[in-house]
C-alpha cells in the first residue's frame, strides 16, 4: 500500500502520466450528463464540477454494445475482435466500484465470460470518495461508504487544494508508480481523508434496513403491493441501464453487406420483449412481474447465489425514474406489508 498526495496544481501532469501508460477513462460532461469516456487530451478537464456519472462506469468494463466475434456471411470462419487495451478509470465513485465487484461474480460464476473478464482484468479503477453525498445515496445501508475501497485499486479523496491517494491493490500501487512524478508522499493526510469520509457518511439521509427482505420477497410473491408499485411504471429501461449492478444482455447478429458480427448489448428485464417467447407466450406478461423481478433479482436471487445483495445504494434508479418509482419505497413496503 502506498499513500500519496496530488496537489491540484499538478492535476494535468497526473492525468497525462496516467494517459501515457494506459487508456484513460474519465467522467466527461456530455450534454447535461456525465459519462465515462476515453480521455481526449483535454487536461483542463478536472473533477471539480463532477458529482456522479449518470451512466455508471460499468460501461467501461461491460460496454453497452460489444462485438463478440466477426464473420463473413456465408463463411464458416469467425474472428475475434481486437484485443482490449490496459485501461484506467479515473474518478469512479466507490459505489460504482463495489458494483463492479458484484458484476464480477456473475461473469466468473461457473463458466468464465472471456469478454468481461479480459476487460475487467485489464482495468484499474481509481475511485473518488464522495465528500458530499447525493440526494438518493444509501450506500451505507449496503455495507458501503463514501470512502469504500471494495473493487477499487486506488482510493482518492478530495482534501480541497489536493487529493489524497491510497493504493488498495498491487495494481493500484503500479498505477501510482506510473504517475509518480506528479505525486508527493503523504504525511498525515490519511487521517484527514478518514475524517472527510466519516463526515460524508453522516450526511447520507436515505437508508433501508435490509434484514429480512430476502425472505419477505419470497413469501410475498403474490402480494397486492406489486400491482401498486408497478402501476405508474412506463416500462422503460432507465432504471436498469443506469444501474451499476444490472448486467443483463441480449445477443444479436448484425450484418452490413457481407460483414457480419455477433454482438451483445445491454438489455433490460423491464422490457416486455426480454422474456417474450416466439410463440407469443410471455412468462412475465406485465410490468408488475417485471418490477417484481427487478427487485427480486437484486435483493433475493442474487443473494441466494452469491450471498450478497446486488445493489450498492447509488440511487440512480430512483433519480432517473420518470415516474418516481423508488426502490427504497418499495423495499420499505416489502418489509412492512409482506
Residues 171-190 that bind other proteins (CB under 8 A): none
User: 281 in the Ramachandran plot: left (φ > 0), alpha (ψ -120 to 50) or beta?
Assistant: beta
Residue 37 belongs to what H/E stretch?
A: strand 33-38
Q: How far is the CB of 255 from other proteins (least distance, A)?
A: 5
The C-alpha atoms of residue 109 and residue 62 are separated, in whole angstroms, by 16
Contact flag: residue 262 with other proteins (CB under 8 A): yes
Q: How many residues bind other proteins (CB under 8 A)?
A: 91
Q: Pick from 114, 108, 63: which is nearest to 89 by CA?
A: 63
Q: Pairing between strand 33-38 and 65-72?
A: unpaired
User: 25 in the Ramachandran plot: left (φ > 0), alpha (ψ -120 to 50) or beta?
Assistant: beta
Figure out which of the listed residues 44, 211, 324, 336 binds other proteins, where binding follows CB under 8 A.
324
Of residues 48 and 185, the one with the C-beta less far from other proteins: 48
Of residues 85 and 205, the one with the C-beta less far from other proteins: 205
The C-alpha atoms of residue 254 and residue 6 are separated, in whole angstroms, by 46
Figure out which of the listed residues 9, 40, 46, 64 binds other proteins, where binding follows CB under 8 A.
64
The C-alpha atoms of residue 59 and residue 12 are separated, in whole angstroms, by 25
The C-alpha atoms of residue 55 and residue 128 are separated, in whole angstroms, by 16
Contact 64, 266 (CB under 8 A): yes
Q: Which of residues 139-178 bind other proteins (CB under 8 A)?
A: none
Of residues 12 and 50, the one with the C-beta less far from other proteins: 50
Q: Which of residues 227-256 bind other proteins (CB under 8 A)?
A: 231-232, 234-238, 241-242, 247-255
Q: Which of residues 15-44 bind other proteins (CB under 8 A)?
A: 30-33, 35
Q: How far is the CB of 138 from other proteins (least distance, A)?
A: 11
Q: How far is the CB of 226 from other proteins (least distance, A)?
A: 12
Q: Which of residues 106-125 bind other proteins (CB under 8 A)?
A: 106-107, 109-111, 113-115
Of residues 186 and 270, the one with the C-beta less far from other proteins: 270
Amino acid at each position: 500500500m502506498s499513500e500519496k498526495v496530488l496537489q491540484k496544481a499538478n492535476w494535468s501532469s497526473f492525468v497525462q502520466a496516467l494517459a501515457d501508460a494506459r487508456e484513460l477513462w474519465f467522467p466527461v460532461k456530455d450534454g447535461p450528463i456525465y459519462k465515462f469516456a476515453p480521455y481526449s487530451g483535454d487536461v483542463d478537464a478536472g473533477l471539480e464540477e463532477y458529482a456522479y456519472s449518470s451512466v455508471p462506469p460499468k460501461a467501461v468494463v461491460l460496454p453497452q454494445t460489444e462485438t463478440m466475434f466477426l464473420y463473413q456471411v456465408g463463411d464458416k470462419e469467425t474472428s475475434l475482435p481486437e484485443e482490449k487495451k490496459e485501461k484506467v478509470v479515473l474518478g469512479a465513485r466507490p459505489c460504482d466500484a463495489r458494483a463492479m465487484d458484484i458484476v464480477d461474480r456473475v461473469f466468473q460464476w461457473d463458466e468464465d465470460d472471456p469478454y468481461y473478464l479480459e476487460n475487467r482484468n485489464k482495468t484499474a479503477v481509481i475511485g473518488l470518495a464522495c465528500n458530499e453525498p447525493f440526494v438518493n445515496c444509501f450506500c451505507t445501508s449496503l455495507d458501503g461508504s463514501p470512502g469504500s475501497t471494495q473493487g477499487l485499486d486506488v482510493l482518492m479523496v478530495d482534501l480541497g487544494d489536493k487529493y489524497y491517494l491510497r493504493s488498495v491493490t498491487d495494481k493500484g500501487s503500479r498505477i501510482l508508480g506510473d504517475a509518480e512524478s506528479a505525486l508527493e508522499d503523504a504525511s498525515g493526510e490519511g487521517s484527514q481523508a478518514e475524517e472527510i469520509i466519516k463526515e460524508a457518511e453522516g450526511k447520507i439521509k436515505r437508508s433501508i434496513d435490509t434484514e429480512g427482505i430476502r425472505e419477505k420477497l419470497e413469501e410475498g410473491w403474490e402480494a397486492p403491493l406489486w400491482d401498486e408499485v408497478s402501476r405508474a411504471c412506463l416500462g422503460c429501461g432507465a432504471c436498469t441501464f443506469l444501474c451499476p449492478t444490472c448486467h443483463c444482455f441480449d445477443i444479436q447478429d448484425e450484418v452490413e453487406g457481407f460483414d457480419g458480427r455477433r454482438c451483445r448489448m445491454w438489455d433490460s428485464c423491464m422490457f416486455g420483449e426480454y422474456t417474450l417467447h416466439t410463440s407469443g407466450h410471455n412468462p412475465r406478461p406485465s410490468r408488475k412481474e417485471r418490477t417484481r423481478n427487478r427487485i427480486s433479482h437484486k435483493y433475493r436471487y442474487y443473494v441466494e447465489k452469491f450471498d450478497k445483495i446486488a445493489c450498492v445504494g447509488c440511487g440512480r434508479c430512483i433519480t432517473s425514474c420518470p415516474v418516481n418509482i423508488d426502490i427504497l419505497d418499495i423495499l420499505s413496503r416489502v418489509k412492512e406489508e409482506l
